[in-house]
Structures are given as C-alpha cells and as structure tokens.
C-alpha cells in the first residue's frame, strides 16, 4: 500500500513507496567487519609499522583497487587539435 504526502510549499502531492523491511543491520555489519580487520592486524602486526599501513596494504591488494587502477583507453590523454 502506498502512502502519500501533501507538500503545500512545493504545491505537490507525492506518492510514497512503502518502506522495505531491513534484511540486515548496517551498524552490526560495520562493527563485525572492523573487528575482523583488527583481529587480522593483531595476527600480522609485526609485518606492518602501523594499523594504517596494514589498512593501506589491504586496500592496495583489493579487487576494487585492481579494477580502479586499470587504465581506461582514451582517459588521461589530450584530445588532438
């Protein structure tokens, strides 16, 4: 069932989508992932000068960093003319 909102200042009547039930807790997920990273760091901290160096190494080796770091044809070149 859709709800509706009357917004006189905008002269608008807006139909609203029903709220979806959350399937996961964002805060719990963030806390869990941070705890996992800290445990990984504790197990390997002799390999890094600091926690920041550990995080930077993880980011550098991530699939996302590999994808973002790929050269895209035509990017970074000046147009001719």
The answer to whether the CB of 15 falls within 8 A of the CB of 4 is: yes
Residue 7, pLDDT above cutoff 70: no
Confidence of residue 68 (pLDDT cuts 50, 70, 90): confident
Torsions phi, psi of 79, nearest 5?
-65, 145
CA R_g for the chain: 23
Segment 47-57 mean pLDDT: 91
Residue 13, pLDDT above cutoff 80: no
Please give the pLDDT value at position 8: 60
The structure's pTM equals 0.51
Please give the pLDDT value at position 66: 82
């Amino acid at each position: 069932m859709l709800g509706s909102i009357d917004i006189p200042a905008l002269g608008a009547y807006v139909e609203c989508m029903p709220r979806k039930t959350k399937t996961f807790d964002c805060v719990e997920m963030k806390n869990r992932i941070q705890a996992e990273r800290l445990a990984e760091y504790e197990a390997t901290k002799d390999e890094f000068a600091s926690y920041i160096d550990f995080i930077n190494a993880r980011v550098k080796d991530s699939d996302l960093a590999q994808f973002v770091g790929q050269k895209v044809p035509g990017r970074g070149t000046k147009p001719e003319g």
